[in-house]
Each structure stands twice: as C-alpha cells, then as structure tokens.
Chain A
Amino acid sequence: MINQLSWKVGGQQGEGIESTGEIFAIALNRLGYYLYGYRHFSSRIKGGHTNNKIRVSTTEVRSISDDLDVLVAFDQETIDLNYKELHAKGVILADAKFTPKKPEDTQAALYAVPFTEIATELGTSLMKNMVAIGATSAVLNLDIHVFEEVVQEIFGKKGAQVVAKNMDAIKAGYEYMKNQLVDGVEIMELEKADGKKRMFMIGNDAIALGAVAAGCRFMAAYPITPASEIMEYLIKKLPALGGSVIQTEDEIAACTMAIGANYAGVRTITASAGPGLSLKMEAIGLSGITETPLVIVDTQRGGPSTGLPTKQEQSDLMAMIYGTHGEIPKIVMAPSTVEEAFYDTAEAFNLAEEYQCPVIILSDLQLSLGKQTVEPLSMDKVEIRRGKLVTDEIPENENKGYFKRYEVTADGVSPRVIPGMKNGIHHVTGVEHDETGKPSESAANRIAQMDKRFRKIENIRFNTPVYKNVKHEEADVLFVGFNSTRGVIEEAMVRLENDGLKVNHAQIRLIHPFPTDEVLPLVRSAKKVVVVENNATGQLANIMKMNVGHAEKIIKHLKYDGNPFLPHEVYTKCKELF
C-alpha cells in the first residue's frame, strides 16, 4: 500500500488529454483523496505535446511531485519527454497503436495496451481515454465503479447508451491490464482515503467564487491565458444574480469600464495576465488619484511581451507595485493557496472600498490553473464592509457648493458618494483636485491631497499579511516565497527538518504595502534567508532587501524556465548552503 501516487497522461493537444485527467481526478477526489494537478500545455489548440500530471495523496498536497509512478502515453513523444520522471518501479501504459519503444536508460516497465483498438471495437476510437483510465485502475487495483458517477455526469446528456459504452471501455481497459499484471509486482494500491467531500477546483475558480461571495455583480474583461476562467465562471453565474460580464474590445476598456462601474457603486472586477496589466496601468493610476475602488487580478505567466504565455512565472511583482506613472496608494496581495485565493478575493473588495484605491490580486499560472483538492469554502469568513460609502441622505449645500468627496481627513479616507444621490454632486478628475474634486494646481492643495491619499494605507488592516510556519526561535534557514511556491517550500522544509536543520517559512500574502514588522523579526532570527521565486532577477528578494535590509543573509533561489519548482530543487539548493 502507498499513501501517495503521481500519475501523468500525455499526448497531442486536442486528443482529450485534459478530460482523461479530469475524469480520473474527479473520481479520486470524491473518494476523499487530496489531489494536485499540473497541466503542461502550449499556446495552440490542436497538436503539440500536452500532459496532465496529477498527484494523489491521503494527506494534503500543494505541489507537484519530483517523480512519477504511472505514465499514460498516447504517443512516443510523451514517453520520450517524460520517462525520466519515472522511478525504477514506475509503469508506462502506452497505446499499442504507435508501437511504443522503451528508452534504454529506464528501469520502469512498459506495457503496450491497445487503447485505440479496444475503443474502436467498442464503437469509437474517441473512447481510448476511457480504456486508459481502466488500465490505470488495474495498476492501482482500483474498483472501476468509482468512475460511474463521473461518466454519468459527463456523458449523461448524450444518452444512456453512450454512458454504458464509456463504462464498457473503462472495464475493457481494466480487464486487459489485469491479465497483464500476472504476478502483481507493479500494482500500486493506494491506502483508503477518508471519503470526505471536498472541492476540486483551480485558483481561478476560487477567485471568481470569491468575487461572487463578496457581492461583485459586474465584470469587464478581455480574454487571456491564464486568466480567462475567472471571466468564464462569472459569465455563467452573474446573470442569475442580476449582474453581467462584458467582454470588452481591449484591456484598457476593461479596466476603465470597471472603474466607471465601481464609481457608480457596483462591486466590479477585472482580470488579466501581464500583457493586459501593462495596458491597464494608466487606468490604475486614474483609480488611484480619483480614489475609485478597483479590484484587478493579475494571473502571472512568463513575460515579457508575449513571453511564455502558457508557462509558470512570477515576474510581475515589481510592475504591480510600481506600475503606473506618478505615485498612488495601492494594495497588492498574493494568495498562496486556492483557499486563500477565495478569501483574499472577497476581502479585496472590502479593502478597495475601505481604502478607496486599486487592489491587485496577484496570482500565478500554477495557482490559477493547477486543479486541486480544497476543503469546502465557507461564507462564514466572508464579510462585506463598504468603508465610508455614504448611504444616508445628504443635507443641501449652499450656493451649489459641491460635496466634499475628497475631504482631508485624519485617516485620509473621505466620504464616498455614488451618482444618483441628491446633494452629493461633486467632480471626479484625474487632474489634481481640491476637496470637492475641482482641478487645482495650488502647491498647498497638492501636498494636502497627496498626503491624504497616502495616509489611507499607512496603517492598513490586513488579516494575516504573512503566512508563517515558525517552529524555531533561531532558525538555520528562513524560506520566503509568494503565491504557488508555498507547497514546494513546505515539502522541502519537511525533508530539511528530517536532516536536522531548523527551518522557518514565511509566505508573503500582502506584497504591498510590505509587512516589514511581520517579516523583520523572522529575518533577524535566521542564519540564512532563502527567497524562492519564479523569476530571473529575484524581485521578492530585492523587495525584502529594500524593506527589511539584511542583504548579506538573503539568498535568491530562482527558476525562470517556465516550469514550477519541484520539491527537490528547493531542498537541494538549501542543502548546498550547509
């Protein structure tokens, strides 16, 4: 019996690789296993190698694994590109159709299974994926009945016959493979899971659901990888709540439309990836100076320009903090798990209204698209706070005086009135303005308004700005990361502790304003600080140096080849230091 398994299915894009992984994963999730998925894909729809790697465990997992137990291959390329991940007792299940060849330098076993042939005999070669799921089940000694529910859900609309045929395909694959495993040495049976119901979702689903829970009722967005799922989810869900999504003509329209809707009082979101964020920058400055709430998601991918559009990277950090010309108060948050993506998104709407400034929710491709098991999300922790939004009647102003929308206050936050309110008329402009919003170039006013705007975020209230796993008062190593690197760091940490090292971990959730007070003591009490990030220049490490100093301790561990870190890469880097 094993307590975790790593399974990968690969082939040409457009061959149903994704749905094969999906059916396998949903069934296992329902048995109570924890799953963590990683999709390797290219910026094209048909053709090109793609694979879906799924880790299955009886305990929580938040990263892909170093090695692989089972590789399901629909072409030779899948074997050639992935076999090195297989450990010595690993298994390759390959479609006999392409006469698979086993590379010389692997001890893993290769079985040529007639996926296509069996499927064709049963009616259509399209079902080869189901045959592969059946064959996998034989290797895992898994009861194929666990797939019945999922197959029914996916194919039910096409009729009972299609459902039955697909189940037949799974069964045929299972039986064929069962007969191959005569002595059973390759069988990898998973320990029984707890059977609890948990969610299985990607980070983008959680962001979108968080927006719905927060009362977001409008979205303006332009499609882009890896952000589009947020928009697609809201297009499905907002109409039932009276809301709407507009697919705009470009990213600038998306951002400015979101500003218009927020100005008029609706919680509105826009989401994009790096190229879109670059285009939104001027508008983000407009949100800053007009103090219009704005929630923007940046799902980071490989940059610059079109870069590596379907690959993992975390290189937008500096751009998100410092992007837009001039200076504005801004909040940049970086959830590190799917759960945090949900709760942080909901909270982002509160912060945007309380501080009347742009709030950027930073994600990365692996967090946004990696499908994983998540404990059921709850509304209990979701609050709705609208800050100084004026809802009471406003007394009449004398001589058509404007409402002091930009009143200089002690905390910097001014009362916010939305259009339609009697006696609330004021002006809004991206030009520097006085307390009523009228343009003003006076030096004294400039200072008063700049100071007022920045005062807003001086004492920002943010629940858990740093996720901390601090077991040691004095540590050999402090790991620091943000977004999806949390899982690999956690795994490396366990291995290093087993080796006798004292390791602490800080995952930064509030990137800006930087939570110096939280991070500095951890840096002080560590011999070395290893900052793990998917970029080439060490952007978080540099932000750390700016805010907490101790440059001599800070070591950059960088990966920018488009792939997420593997646990052993983080482990090895740290071992080298001692």
Chain B
Amino acid sequence: MATFKDFRNNVKPNWCPGCGDFSVQAAMQRAAANVGLEPENLAVISGIGCSGRISGYINSYGFHGIHGRSLPIAQGVKMANRDLTVIASGGDGDGFAIGMGHTIHAIRRNIDITYVVMDNQIYGLTKGQTSPRSAAGFKTKSTPMGSVEQAISPMEMALTAGATFVAQSFSTDLKDLTALIEAGIKHKGFSLINVYSPCVTYNKVNTYDWFKENLTKLSDIEGYDPSNREEAMQTLMKHNGLVTGLIYQNTERQSYQELINGYAETPLSQADLNLDQQYFDKLVGEFM
C-alpha cells in the first residue's frame, strides 16, 4: 500500500519560503495515502497562479491547465474515468474570479470530485493585486486607495448553489486539513474545501497571526451540526465566514454520475470503441 511518501516526487516547489501552499500539498499527499490510493489512480488538475503549480509537485497524474478552468478539465477527467480520484486545485483568483462561473456550476452539477482552493486573498504570481477574496479597503498595487469592492464569501455562495460538501481549513492545521481532504475524497459528489493559505510575500494583513486570532473552529462550537444547512449559513454569517472544519455535508443527494441516464458503471476510457454493425444499421435506418 502506498504511503504519503509515494506521493512525493523529485520536483522542488517554487513557492516562497513560508508559503501556506506547502502544507496544503503535504495534506493532499497524506490524504491520498490515508484513503488507500495508489499514485496512478489520482489525478490532480490545477489552475494558474502560484498554487496552480501543485499538480506538478505531487507524484500522481497531474494536469496544469489554463487560468480558471481546472474544474471543467477535472470534471472531464472524472467523466472519462469514474475509477480515478480527481482533485482540482488552485487559488482564490482561479476559482472565485476568472473561474467563478465554473465553480458555481460544478457545485450544482455535483460530479464526484474534490476541489481544494488555496485562498490567500491576493494575487501572488502577478506580484500583488487585489483578489475577489480581498476585504474592502485592502490596499494592493491595483487598489492603492484600498479596494472598494466587497469580498466574495465562498462558503455561503457554495451553500446557496446547492453544495453537498462544504469545508474550510487553515494551512497550518495539517491534521484537520488532511482529514477534511480525506472526507472530501470519500464524499459521493462535489466537495469544496477552501483553505486559508497565507501569502507571506504580498499579503501583510491576512497573516498567520491574523488567522490564528480570527478563526473559529467549528469543533469548538457546541452541538454544531454539519447536516443542517440553515445552521451552517447562520454560523458562517455570524463569524464572517472565518470558521474552519466541515461546514456542511449532504449525504443524501446522489452524485451526477449516479443520476444520469445510461452512464456506464465501468470507466468510459475502457469502453470498446467499435460500434456493433446492427446498431449502426439501426441508426442509419432512422434517417430513411
């Protein structure tokens, strides 16, 4: 059986020292091993940006696509081979700016993949511009007077879009984060895990210390019930979204693949491409 070391490759990440993404990578590798995967049965599909490089740092099949499109690529991979474990990953710009349309629709489509967002509330690879997760008033190169736009609340957004698995974590909580990714992989349907992953170079506001002061663990809230969508929404609103843990899970709704008509139970990628002559003749006959 593979261990987390088997999910390591010999590529040295080009992230800045202290970047939160290192821990996210480690958590993903541990979760993959913990759920019993072999490296060839995992496909990590990532977007563009610092965090998008993650698919190149894990010893598994990896596809580093174009900005904002990790989710449709990942859904295509999963539709082609339902036996693969597919993790899509990228930053907050990738998922909540350029790729927001795909995020909402992937949530409501509910294909069985896991989406891990590395949320640092800033654009890092382009050297420090505002992100849709930056708070109003946040000063960056592109908002020198402070952002006048409202930040997106991805967890609330996911709940309203019909998400069946919504979780949030903080990159330093390696154990909790690993457990959430494992739960996301096991979840039958689309799982969204937003991870606060601080940018030590460009974000001097939302720092490790800032998160430690401001985050509330859901496990510390007595009687919190992640199967209660209304409670999930209220809790998020009460804490301004700054909570960690499993926020909401619906285990009753079936995944897209389970619901669609005719979809093969074995991977489509293994299907016989040759069409039966009689079946073809029938199709031709329909046009006569």
CB within 8 Å of B: which residues of A?
Answer: 29-30, 197-201, 205, 209, 212-215, 217-218, 220, 237-244, 246, 248-250, 252-254, 256-268, 282-283, 286, 290, 374, 376-377, 379, 384, 399-400, 402, 418-431, 438-439
In the complex, the 3 A-B pairs of residues with the closest C-beta atoms, listed nearest first:
A260-B76, A239-B262, A215-B273
Give 8 pairs: A residue, B residue, CB < 8 Å, sorted on A: A218-B268, A242-B271, A246-B109, A252-B72, A261-B79, A263-B80, A290-B63, A431-B64
A377 — nearest CB in chain B belongs to which residue? B284
Q: Is the CB of B264 within 8 A of A242?
A: yes
Tell whether A419 pairs with B77 under 8 Å between CB atoms, given A240-B262, A248-B72: yes
Q: Is the CB of B9 within 8 A of A400?
A: yes
- 15 A-B pairs besides A30-B288, A209-B283 with CB distance below 8 A are A237-B283, A242-B264, A253-B72, A256-B65, A257-B75, A259-B73, A261-B77, A265-B269, A266-B80, A266-B268, A384-B273, A420-B41, A425-B39, A425-B61, A426-B61
Tell whether A429 pairs with B56 under 8 Å between CB atoms, given A199-B287, A246-B75: yes
Contact with A along B10-30 (1 / 0, CB 8 A): 110000000000000000000
Chain A residues, CB < 8 A from B63: 260, 263, 290, 428-429
Cβ-defined partner of A205 (8 Å) among B73, B287, B288: B287
Q: How far is the CA of A218 from the CA of B263 in the complex (A)?
A: 10
Residues 251-270 of B contacting A (Cβ, < 8 Å): 260-264, 266-270
Cβ-defined partner of B77 (8 Å) among A242, A249, A263, A422: A263
Cβ-defined partner of A264 (8 Å) among B43, B65, B264, B274: B43
Distance between A1 CB and nearest chain B CB, rounded to angstroms: 26
Residues 19-70 of B contacting A (Cβ, < 8 Å): 38-41, 43, 45, 55-56, 59-66, 69
Distance between A495 CB and nearest chain B CB, rounded to angstroms: 31
The reply to whether the CB of B200 lies closer than 8 angstroms to some CB of chain A is no
Tell whether A256 pairs with B72 under 8 Å between CB atoms, given A198-B288, A215-B275, A264-B269: yes
A208 — nearest CB in chain B belongs to which residue? B283
Distance between A279 CB and nearest chain B CB, rounded to angstroms: 11
Total A-B residue contacts, Cβ distance less than 8 Å: 204
The secondary structure that dominates the A interface is mixed
Q: Is the CB of B283 within 8 A of A266?
A: no
Q: Is the CB of A257 within 8 A of B264?
A: no
CB within 8 Å of A: which residues of B?
Answer: 8-11, 38-41, 43, 45, 55-56, 59-66, 69, 71-81, 83-84, 101-102, 104-105, 109, 260-264, 266-275, 277, 280, 283-284, 287-288
Q: Is the CB of A199 within 8 A of B76?
A: no
B69 — nearest CB in chain A belongs to which residue? A256
Q: Is the CB of B77 within 8 A of A264?
A: yes
Cβ-defined partner of A213 (8 Å) among B45, B271, B275: B275
Chain A residues, CB < 8 A from B104: 249
Tell whether A265 pairs with B280 under 8 Å between CB atoms, given A249-B101, A253-B102: no
Cβ-defined partner of B76 (8 Å) among A198, A263, A267, A426: A263
Cβ-defined partner of B274 (8 Å) among A215, A248, A439: A215
Q: Is the CB of B9 within 8 A of A419?
A: no
Q: Is the CB of A425 within 8 A of B102?
A: no
Q: How far is the CA of A261 from the CA of B86 in the complex (A)?
A: 12
Q: Is the CB of A428 within 8 A of B62?
A: yes
Tell whether A244 pairs with B269 under 8 Å between CB atoms, given A253-B72, A256-B69, A260-B73: no
Chain A residues, CB < 8 A from B62: 427-428
Q: Is the CB of A260 within 8 A of B45?
A: yes
Q: How far is the CA of A523 from the CA of B258 in the complex (A)?
A: 58
Q: How far is the CA of A259 from the CA of B73 in the complex (A)?
A: 6
Tell whether A438 pairs with B64 under 8 Å between CB atoms, given A244-B260, A264-B77: no
A252 — nearest CB in chain B belongs to which residue? B69
Cβ-defined partner of B40 (8 Å) among A198, A213, A258, A425: A425
Chain A residues, CB < 8 A from B273: 214-215, 217, 267, 384
Distance between A233 CB and nearest chain B CB, rounded to angstroms: 10
Q: How far is the CA of A402 from the CA of B273 in the complex (A)?
A: 29
Q: Is the CB of B269 within 8 A of A200?
A: no
Q: How far is the CA of A217 from the CA of B41 in the complex (A)?
A: 21
Q: How far is the CA of A308 from the CA of B74 in the complex (A)?
A: 35
Cβ-defined partner of A430 (8 Å) among B66, B83, B105: B66
Distance between B7 CB and nearest chain A CB, rounded to angstroms: 10
Q: How far is the CA of A424 from the CA of B283 in the complex (A)?
A: 38
Cβ-defined partner of A218 (8 Å) among B61, B79, B83, B275: B79
Chain B residues, CB < 8 A from A252: 69, 72
Cβ-defined partner of A376 (8 Å) among B69, B102, B263, B284: B284
Q: How far is the CA of A201 from the CA of B285 in the complex (A)?
A: 11
Q: Is the CB of B81 within 8 A of A264?
A: yes
A205 — nearest CB in chain B belongs to which residue? B287
Q: Is the CB of B287 within 8 A of A430?
A: no
B62 — nearest CB in chain A belongs to which residue? A427
Q: Is the CB of B66 within 8 A of A265?
A: no
Q: How far is the CA of A215 from the CA of B275 in the complex (A)?
A: 7
Q: How far is the CA of A562 from the CA of B105 in the complex (A)?
A: 36
Q: Is the CB of B274 within 8 A of A242?
A: no
Q: Is the CB of A438 within 8 A of B43?
A: no
Q: How far is the CA of A277 from the CA of B251 in the complex (A)?
A: 39
Distance between B84 CB and nearest chain A CB, rounded to angstroms: 6
Q: Is the CB of A249 within 8 A of B76?
A: no
Cβ-defined partner of A253 (8 Å) among B38, B55, B105, B263: B105
Chain A residues, CB < 8 A from B11: 438
Q: Is the CB of A212 within 8 A of B76?
A: no
Distance between B66 CB and nearest chain A CB, rounded to angstroms: 5
Chain B residues, CB < 8 A from A237: 283
Cβ-defined partner of B73 (8 Å) among A256, A282, A377: A256
Interface centre among B39, B75, B102, B273 (most CB of A within 10 A): B273
B10 — nearest CB in chain A belongs to which residue? A400
B74 — nearest CB in chain A belongs to which residue? A260
Chain A residues, CB < 8 A from B101: 249-250, 253
Distance between A543 CB and nearest chain B CB, rounded to angstroms: 28
Chain A residues, CB < 8 A from B65: 256, 259, 286, 430
Cβ-defined partner of A421 (8 Å) among B40, B59, B277: B40
Chain B residues, CB < 8 A from A376: 284, 288
Q: How far is the CA of A218 from the CA of B74 in the complex (A)?
A: 14
Q: Is the CB of A400 within 8 A of B72?
A: no
Q: Is the CB of A419 within 8 A of B81?
A: yes
Q: How far is the CA of A420 from the CA of B108 in the complex (A)?
A: 27
Tell whether A424 pairs with B40 under 8 Å between CB atoms, given A257-B73, A418-B269: yes
Q: Is the CB of A249 within 8 A of B105?
A: yes
Q: Is the CB of B81 within 8 A of A420?
A: yes
Tell whether A257 pairs with B64 under 8 Å between CB atoms, given A400-B9, A400-B10: no
Q: How far is the CA of A159 from the CA of B234 in the complex (A)?
A: 56
Chain A residues, CB < 8 A from B75: 246, 257, 260
Distance between B274 CB and nearest chain A CB, rounded to angstroms: 7
Chain A residues, CB < 8 A from B56: 427, 429, 438-439
Distance between B87 CB and nearest chain A CB, rounded to angstroms: 12
